[in-house]
Structure 1
């Protein structure tokens, strides 16, 4: 009962934090652009954010060895609350020439703290829910994330336009405070995660998650899929999808928003379906990943060669469920196949992989679009997801051989 209450408070806390985060992103990008008049300068925000989160994932294991996960998550959320409050105060008291550098510094700090929070949240979930409810819990969190992002991006733009940047940042600081407050009721039932001697070198502790991934064939294959996911998801980045809408669909920025909203709606629908079918999926996660990856590849090809905007809108909606199913199954497999004591560090390593891959991919896909056209980018992405399906098939064959070997060993033991 206490675990259910703790998971509920974690869910509430992270939903509030994600809504505040979407408001903050819109407010800061608007603020930087209005102050500098430079789109390139405003583009520093996502780059700074990705770099900080990647660095955070590398450094996080040092804190995970010293602090309980619940405490670390609380500290990360409280630190973000303080940073948001500091932004609002500095706006009124800092000279204008120092305001942009100060804001960018705080953006870096917030992103570092956010980079700690993500793997900690994902590692906490298996501790707070029974294993047979893990798929359902992951689908609930993933669906909530998508709903919050959809609401945040839709409502945030209106709030920034009507109330201004500072008022939205004040709202964000208040939301983060309530998110932090909810975490006080999350009780981590496990002991401190550190299983290593105090004398262990810092570098050894930082690379422990990476060594675990490389030494476990399932985790290693999942890391390859995470790289593919990071490369593939960049097709939904603003600059890439905007080019597709203009050059292929011959529509304006409004259809850019429609396509994104349709994909968001699809992922929400997918999360609800996974939640409903969680009992069937929990024993067929590899099969779910296989079908989802192949479906994404096929649907991406259909999306690539769609010239009718309404058809593209429908395909974007249909792509949502397999995206969500693949993501939830992959996260649940990682939780199942990683020792609890190492799970936070493994999630931190996976986070770094995703952030670095995604940041690199946005630049790579932009260059490829300039060189060979936007349709080549989407066809390449389709190929990546077909490759992901092939990797999943290899995992299924290895798992099948392993089960057969175990059966043969049990049979031989009975004979003896």
Structure 2
């Protein structure tokens, strides 16, 4: 057992800069998940509308999506370390301002502040993900991403579990204060880290001084490099239906299990544990990176099937088990696509590629939650029926992935092997 976790221990022990970036992630992620249930509780306290609850998720995702193209341009053009520090400090102020939401009349402020927080996250996340290859060796890169995903899931589990309890027992105000403090601590860890970065050439910097030109070049790069485009699509295709399913877990806890914040915390904790264990399992099953694009399709099919079971049961224990399994598939999909993008994308385009991935991811999740919340608001289907429909569509997406994206990737890998063989023969 110790031998299996030894590479991760060595990575954190010996790589000081990755360790500080990783600690920053842990602290800020804890605050994110610790505070998110407090935002949900704030909305349900002053409104009983399912649509308004879904709307806060839509606002989060659309804010990420709308600002992502500019965020990618910013993270490629400017110093990522300084950008992340500024984003953390500004988010600390914004989260603290949620204390001003005290009635239905001021509820709009929660949406505005959440939008601003997510716009800063749209800059921070691609900057962080783009920085990981710059503070690790090629051999450490997969371990670093698996550890980041596992840490995210552990913190997600702890944060959501404690957040549900804290929201119910301590109140939303104290939760928001703690959340604000985590961003300040996160910025301190980043401040102490050294994060190298390949800078744009003077000619490229001059050519892309207009943000629209820089953004356009990023999209053109993806269009011309399908080996990068394919993993860029993976998260968006997965969350096209998984976004609605995770949103509906909130309603399942409230209306099917009748457990409120405690139930939400439990279900989201199962989601978090699965997300962390999934990359470890996926790496053992699909040890060859050439199989990872194909594996992403399997993950979509499997995740959909697991959520169909969740929609068919009223047992908390069964739900916890199958939510865990479904998100293990999601976590494996996440890490495999991230590592492929980090390996296949040059540093000066990496921010724009990851921001485009975030754009697709957040747009897909926004539409997914919007459609499902509208279905439920109009009572066209029950929560469990809606969950089964979206789970089925997720599995169908995985099948389509296999007939299109996987075939293109296999052709690319075949051509790549032939070129390597020809080069070897020429030598």
The two structures have a TM-score, normalised by structure 2, of 0.82
**Change in CA separation of 1:228 and 1:281 when aligned onto 2, cut-off 3 Å:** same
**Change in CA separation of 1:206 and 1:160 when aligned onto 2, cut-off 3 Å:** same
Partner of 1:263: 271
SS in 2 for 1:197: helix
Partner of 1:124: 131
Given candidates 151, 171, 187, the residue that maps to 1:164 is 171
Q: Does 1:355 align with 2:362?
A: yes
CA RMSD of aligned residues (A): 3.4
Given candidates 217, 220, 232, the residue that maps to 1:223 is 232
Given candidates 197, 202, 206, the residue that maps to 1:198 is 206
- How far residue 335 of structure 1 moved from its aligned partner, in angstroms, is 0.9
- How far residue 216 of structure 1 moved from its aligned partner, in angstroms, is 0.8
Q: Does 1:209 align with 2:218?
A: yes
Point out where structure 1 has 5 or more consecutive residues left out of the alignment: none
CA offsets 1:65-95 (integer angstroms, 9 cap, x no match): 542111111111111112234444x57xxx9
Q: Judge which range, 130-139 or 393-402, deviates more.
A: 393-402
Given candidates 322, 335, 339, the residue that maps to 1:332 is 339
Alpha-carbon distance between aligned partners in 1 of 2:257 and 2:93, rounded to the nearest angstrom: 42
CA offsets 1:195-224 (integer angstroms, 9 cap, x no match): 623253321112232222111112222233
Given candidates 114, 122, 143, the residue that maps to 2:150 is 143
**Change in CA separation of 1:148 and 1:35 when aligned onto 2, cut-off 3 Å:** same
Q: Judge which range, 372-381 or 295-304, deviates more.
A: 295-304
CA offsets 1:206-256 (integer angstroms, 9 cap, x no match): 22322221111122222333331121312432336746997xxx7545776
1:295-314 equivalent positions in 2, closer than 5 A: 295-300=302-307, 311=318, 313-314=320-321
**Change in CA separation of 1:46 and 1:256 when aligned onto 2, cut-off 3 Å:** closer
Contact 2:28 2:186 (8 Å CA) reproduced: yes
Q: Matched residue pairs, number?
A: 406
Alpha-carbon distance between aligned partners in 1 of 2:73 and 2:233, rounded to the nearest angstrom: 25
SS in 1 for 2:206: coil
The two structures have a TM-score, normalised by structure 1, of 0.84
SS in 2 for 1:190: coil
Partner of 2:411: 398
- How far residue 142 of structure 1 moved from its aligned partner, in angstroms, is 0.9
Q: Judge which range, 167-176 or 11-20, deviates more.
A: 167-176
Alpha-carbon distance between aligned partners in 2 of 1:305 and 1:36, rounded to the nearest angstrom: 29
Alpha-carbon distance between aligned partners in 1 of 2:314 and 2:96, rounded to the nearest angstrom: 47
Q: Judge which range, 405-414 or 346-355, deviates more.
A: 405-414
Alpha-carbon distance between aligned partners in 2 of 1:259 and 1:284, rounded to the nearest angstrom: 31
Partner of 1:22: 33
SS in 1 for 2:423: helix
Alpha-carbon distance between aligned partners in 2 of 1:144 and 1:12, rounded to the nearest angstrom: 9
Alpha-carbon distance between aligned partners in 2 of 1:252 and 1:163, rounded to the nearest angstrom: 21
Q: Judge which range, 167-176 or 315-324, deviates more.
A: 315-324
Alpha-carbon distance between aligned partners in 2 of 1:241 and 1:104, rounded to the nearest angstrom: 18
**Change in CA separation of 1:3 and 1:48 when aligned onto 2, cut-off 3 Å:** farther
Q: Does 1:315 align with 2:322?
A: yes
CA offsets 1:151-208 (integer angstroms, 9 cap, x no match): 1111112212222222221111212111111111121122435662325332111223
Q: Judge which range, 309-318 or 95-104, deviates more.
A: 95-104
Given candidates 147, 153, 159, the residue that maps to 2:160 is 153
Contact 2:157 2:270 (8 Å CA) reproduced: no
